[in-house]
């Protein structure tokens, strides 16, 4: 259970930063 919880704890920030990165990249593409 601890391992699963730790995995989820690590996984969420990765998904969050990935979404921010995609949004930022999308804005840059739109500006060009």
- Which pLDDT tens digits describe the chain residue by residue (32 residues)? 666 665 666 656 666 778 888 888 888 877 77
Q: What is the pLDDT of residue 11?
A: 59
- Predicted confidence at residue 6, as pLDDT, reads 59
Domain that holds residue 8: 1-32
Number of domains in the chain: 1
Question: What does the block give as tokens for 4?
Answer: 């699963």
Cα–Cα distance measured from residue 29 to residue 11, given in angstroms and rounded to the nearest whole number: 27
């Amino acid at each position: 259970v601890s391992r699963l919880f730790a995995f989820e704890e690590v996984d969420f920030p990765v998904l969050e930063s990935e979404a921010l990165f995609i949004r930022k990249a999308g804005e840059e593409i739109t500006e060009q």
